[in-house]
Structures are given as C-alpha cells and as structure tokens.
Structure 1
Amino acid sequence: MASLRTSAIICSVRQHGEHGAVVRALTPQNGLMAGYVRGARSRTMRPILIPSNIVQADYRARTEDQLASMTAELQQSRGPYLGEPLASAALDWVTALTAAILPEEQSYPQLHSALTALLDAICGAPSAKGWAVALARYELLLLSELGFGLSLDICTATGNAEDLIYISPKSGAAVSREAGQIYKEKLLPLPAFLNSPDQPQWDDILDGLKVTGFFLRRHFFADHRNDVMAARSVLVDRLKRVVA
C-alpha cells in the first residue's frame, strides 16, 4: 500500500511518542488499518480521533513494512453520545473489541456494514433494547468471520433441529432440551434470537450476551488482554441496571 484514501470507523487510539498516536480504523474494503497520526493529541485532532467517529482517512507508506502515516478529516462525530453512560459504554466496547481481535489489512465488508449499523443504532435507537440485540448479533458475526462460528441449527447429539435450548461450551454447537437434560447445569442457554429474526425479551438478550461473551473470552481474551473485556463488563452491568 503506497497510498489509500477511504472512509473509516475509528476503533482505537494509542498514544505514541509525545504528540502522536497509532490509530486503528475499520475501512469498508481494506479491513482494519493502522496508521500514525502526527499531532493526535492536539486540541484540533482529539475530537476527530474518538473511537466510533467516521473519518475520511488518507494513508501513505514508503514501503509495505512501514507503518503508514495517516491523516483524518471528520465525517461523522459521535462525541455528543460520550456523555450518556450506556451509549458511551457500548461505543467503547464495540470499537475496542473490533480493534483488538481483527487482523490488520484483511477485508471484512460484512463486518464493516454490521458495525456501521450497530453504531447508528446505539446512537439513534429510542431505547437500549433497540440495539442490544444488534450487539449480540455483531459479536456472533465476529466469531463467525474469524473462524469460531457457533453451530446453532441442529442438535450436536441427535442431529434434530427441534427444541434447541442449550449450547455446548466445548463445541459451540446447539443441544436439544431432551439431549441436554442430564448435563443442563454445564450448558449455556440458547436464546432463539441468535439464529432467528425473533425480537427477544431482556432475559433472552442477556442470555445471548452471556453466550457471545463466553466464546469471545475463550478464543481471544484468555491472555493478558482482559482489560479489553473489562469494557464489556461495564456495558453489561449498565444494561442489567436498565432492566432491573
């Protein structure tokens, strides 16, 4: 990549040196891109480089191995939502998650579209229930796109597609009520909306987030990066307070 101009969703900003930052942003066709932004901590750039903002990004690199320099022009600001505790926690989590687990410069157009829609929902839905379902489905899509998709269509024990209410924590596959009866204390719940267009109640939404959180932690955050999952814990705690 000698140069690239593209729309991008800011996902993470990490201080680098006295004034600059390494910024990771999700682009429609080129996936997650990293670039060095000079003056990132300036009064002008700080409001632009907010995770979840959409920018017009220019990347330039002299060689393939060099970290590209990046400039950014604001296209859409989500700064006004940072003062809302629930929306802010959701924006923090989904962008941090995306930056933490996606490999760089691999195209994920479906994820870009899904993240764009999710961010719009977080900022535009009249209530958290309007976007919490989309959040669980986005996490499920991330798992699938990175090779850890759950198999929720048929029972792993019987091959039947009826009465699927559990998920095996070992295989990530669905288990029917009858087949899972003996082991139900060790199984995860399978809320119907994870593999259907159903509009669930809050208990099902929280169960769905329990499932996706379990597999995200297992596959991506079993090491020192638990600080990323801490942002998710903050979000889920706030969602539970909304339900209570």
Structure 2
Amino acid sequence: MEWRDEGIILATRKHGETSAILEVMTRSRGRHLGLVRGGLSRRMRPFLQPGNKVDLLWRARLDEHLGSFQVEPLEQNAARLFDSAVSVYGLQVLAAHLRLLPERDPHIRLYETLGIIIAHLDDADVVGALLARFEVAVLDELGFGLDLTRCGATGSSDDLIYVSPKTGRAISGEAGSAWADRLFGLPPFLRVGSALGGDAAAIHDAFRLTGHFLARHVYEPRGIEAPEARASFLAALTKALNRPVSKEHTSV
C-alpha cells in the first residue's frame, strides 16, 4: 500500500534512537501518523517541525498499519513561528482541535483553513479571528455547527449581535434585547463574509462563545478538558494586541 500527498506537520515525537513518528494533517487523507526513519538526524530535524508543509510518500504492508513516511520539505514555516508565543500556542491549539477528529478522515476544508492560519500565525491583528473561525469550522465538521446566518427568533439576517447558548443560533439585537445578559455576543468577524480583525474584547467574546459549545458537545461528553494551550494563546494574544505601538519621532 502507498500514497502520496501534501501535509502540514502537527507534531513529532522520538521513536527509538534515530527515528521519529510524524503527525500530519494531509490534504486528502486527514490527520495521519507515520514513521520517519532517521527523522532525528541533523539533516531532517529542521524540516520535521510543527507548522512546516511537506510532501509525503506513505508506505505500509496493510492499510491499518502505522506505515512509514518519506518526507520532502515544501514550506519551512517553523523558524518564523517559533519566535512568537502567539504562534507557538496557536499551533498547539490547532493540533489539539484536529485531534478531536477521527484519524485518517479527510477534512479538506480544515486543511485549507489550517494553511491560511499558519501563514498569518505571527500577525496578531488577524490570527485571533482566524483561530476562532477555525473552532467554528471544527464544531461544524463534528456535526455541531452554529447557525450564525439568520436570527433564530425572526429569521432575519440583519443586526445579528447575539448567539443563544442553548441553540447556537444567532439572535438579532431587537429580538434579544430583553435577554441580552443571558446571550453570547456575536463578534462581526464570525459571520460569513465579514472582515477579519477585532480588539481583545471581541476576540475573548468569540472564544467564550466557541469554548461553550466545544465544552458542551465535545469535551464534556468525551470526559476531556480544553487544551491548556488555548488559555495560553489567548493570554499571549491579549498581550500582543494591547502592546503600545512605538511612534517614530518626526520633525515639525
């Protein structure tokens, strides 16, 4: 058995003295593991890092076996990302969310989104919105999608500023005004077609919303906790967003 695909590395762990087990998100075969012989060598170690995009040739005697990878680098992103706490924690959150999905199940939309996020992981102005959208997409892929396109009470697509914690449906300002303290805020960037970006408060609103539904539908039923990296990512991102911007002195 063999196949070739491209993938993004999620994690690498040591196997024996010289080899590594690589965990990748592939374009057409989902999250997949494989053995890389010599993966701990000085030559291979730099491109077997999380965030890097690689070309993969997988071989095994039977489809259900772990199998082995032959790996060639396509995009080396790790060196750029490892200098930023936001990027490092963001990568860990992305990997943790992808592990919620069954291994070897294809999720092409998530793969494409993963690539977009990695390209912007070191951009604090947009990465929070991108990762929150990724969490919405993961919920959808798991069968617990949120309906953020129309008001759950009126059917209108206008003035959607809340989300019901019970139904996961958007609620308009008029319909939800009497229960505003019981509803989640809906940051504009979570709506389809909306522009990215938002301040720290909007980012926290988005992650509070997605975290509620991840806990209800995924973490609690499986008896697991939210990844610790998620809180660390939010803390690092908040710090980055609130960092003063230095101004160059100009002569008058």
Return the TM-score normalized by structure 2.
0.83
Structure 2: segments with no counterpart, 5+ residues: 243-252
Counterpart CA distance in 2 for 1:143 and 1:59 is 29
Structure 1: segments with no counterpart, 5+ residues: none
**Is 1:61 aligned to residue 60 of structure 2?**
yes
Quickly say closer, same or farther: Cα 1:21–1:75, change in 2 above 3 A.
Answer: same
Counterpart CA distance in 2 for 1:243 and 1:31 is 33
Counterpart CA distance in 2 for 1:199 and 1:36 is 38
SS at match of 2:65: coil
For the Cα contact (< 8 Å) 2:54–2:75, is it kept in 1? yes
Q: What letter corresponds to residue 90 of structure 2 in structure 1? A: A
Counterpart CA distance in 1 for 2:163 and 2:20 is 41
Counterpart CA distance in 2 for 1:20 and 1:184 is 55
For the Cα contact (< 8 Å) 2:129–2:198, is it kept in 1? no
For this pair of structures, how many residues does the alignment match?
238
Q: 1:177-192 alignment to 2 at 5 Å?
A: 177-192=173-188
Equivalent position of 2:39 in the other structure: 40
| Aligned pair partner of 1:145 in 113, 135, 141 | 141
For the Cα contact (< 8 Å) 1:14–1:23, is it kept in 2? yes
| Aligned pair partner of 1:209 in 207, 210, 235 | 207
For the Cα contact (< 8 Å) 2:15–2:21, is it kept in 1? yes
Q: CA deviation at 1:31?
A: 1.8
Task: From the CA coordinates, give the structure whose radius of gyration is larger.
Answer: 2
**Is 1:87 aligned to residue 87 of structure 2?**
yes
For the Cα contact (< 8 Å) 1:82–1:88, is it kept in 2? yes
Runs (4+) of structure 1 exceeding 6 A deviation are: none
Counterpart CA distance in 2 for 1:11 and 1:200 is 25
Residue by residue over 1:178-219, the C-alpha shift from the partner in whole angstroms, topping out at 9 and shown as x without a partner, is 433343333211112211413443132332232223323333
Return the TM-score normalized by structure 1.
0.86
Cα RMSD (Å): 2.3
Quickly say closer, same or farther: Cα 1:11–1:218, change in 2 above 3 A.
Answer: farther
Q: What letter corresponds to residue 189 of structure 1 in structure 2? A: G
